[in-house]
Structure 1
Amino acid sequence: MKLLFVGDTHGTKHLEKVAGFLSQARLTPQDAVIHCGDTGVAWLGEEDEALRFWRALPQKVVFCLGNHENYRWMYSQPRVSRYSALGHDLGGRIFAPLHGQVARLGGRSLWFYPGGYSIDFYFRVPGRNVFHEEMLEPPAARRALNRVLDRTYTDFIVTHDGPRSFVTQHFNFPISQPHDHYWRHLEVPPGGRAHPAFLLDELYSQPQRFGQWFFGHHHQDVAQGKLRCLWQQAALVDTRDGATIIIS
């Protein structure tokens, strides 16, 4: 089985690159596309053009949701169990795992941690296009992280954001906790939501626990060690032998 990992597409804005990836990957219906978040659906609900694109794909499609999603619509969709994980059925062959779920595809394990901090929150309206669900409350975030830390080994880590220390080192900009204005804007007590980058540092410090880690969010193509941030590139992995091909 082949897994095609892709980064942010933001509705239809950056969706064209996926068609190029698919033409090179030559996937079969038994293979899967793994999206690392900011799918940008479904702002128009069932009439959303990007949603129709993803639903029409013959492959399995797995969304690790980001911080530019219509969470109100996403979380209204049926909750199901698929690939040994809990999540939402978004129609077609699209599945969006919940935080901390471990799915199995092609005999491999994949741990998912959706969401991220929206630095553009002040341009967005709470409950309409920015949502509390973009970041978990700290106790729920800890439970999600413990699901992978309690495991001896996980083949693939799939997140929207990356670990803070990796991003700070390789992207040349610091990551800080949400600004006070963020908490006020979303009417959340300060510290009432867990910034994923800080949480993920704990897993990043234990590289023996995972094989490869794919994430998006930062709109750059950067790879170092076991981690790869995807933007204009995609990663095609053969689950039989772990061979990875980078597609541009």
Structure 2
Amino acid sequence: MRKITFVLFLFVALAAKAQTDLQVLYDAGKGRDYLTTTVEMFKTDNWGSSYFFVDMYYNGANHHPGLAYTEISRCLKFWKGPFSAHIEYNGGLFGVGNSYLPINNAWLAGVDYGWHDKAFSKFLNLKLLYKTIEGKNANSFQITGVWTLNYFKNKLTVSGFADFWREDNVNFTNGNNEPITPTNTKFVFISEPQFWYNATPHLSLGGEVQVASNFSAVNGLKVSPKIGAKWNF
């Protein structure tokens, strides 16, 4: 776990001069009742943009981290226009007893379409990606939408993402965390719309709602609300 913590603080140090935030959220979903922290960074440059986030789920014994997950992506564009090339890596670890097992590595590549309004207060990205999942689906796909919408002179921010992809899974519980007969599924959907009241340029209060289907061994739909705070560096 010390390696995960070191990587987390390394990412924070590298992102010091970028658009970076730390989120602390309490997961109020049924059967969950734990904290999640997220560090994310977005930075543009003359060749496109870079983005990453690191999630830590404190659902282990004595509220230790029971899961760590990261996504790292790069949009490459040295031409004019709304389209860019996109590459991405996903991976992590989850706890089982006193040990940690890997989350299957995934690599993605494809096309990103970006839009913003004249005031740069509203942003939208759509991605069409080829996806390969180590040990599972060598040839798959993912469709992603990402949005940030600011209102009332940036006092209210509505942001989030939605992912839909092909992945062979076996699910063992339903949306109420009840055991079911193991069920095979082939498609996954997850979205996490967030709502923030920006009390100061640095402090935001609000939360998110995770809406997922056939995700994390859960069969069908599961909705998990979270409340918390975000610090914008």
TM over 0.5: no
Query: So what's the TM-score if we normalise by structure 2?
Result: 0.28
User: Larger relative contact order (C-alpha < 8 A, sep ≥ 6)?
Assistant: 1
Query: So what's the TM-score if we normalise by structure 1?
Result: 0.27
- Flag the structure with higher strand content: 2
- Higher Cα Rg: structure 1 or 2? 2
- Flag the structure with higher helix content: 1
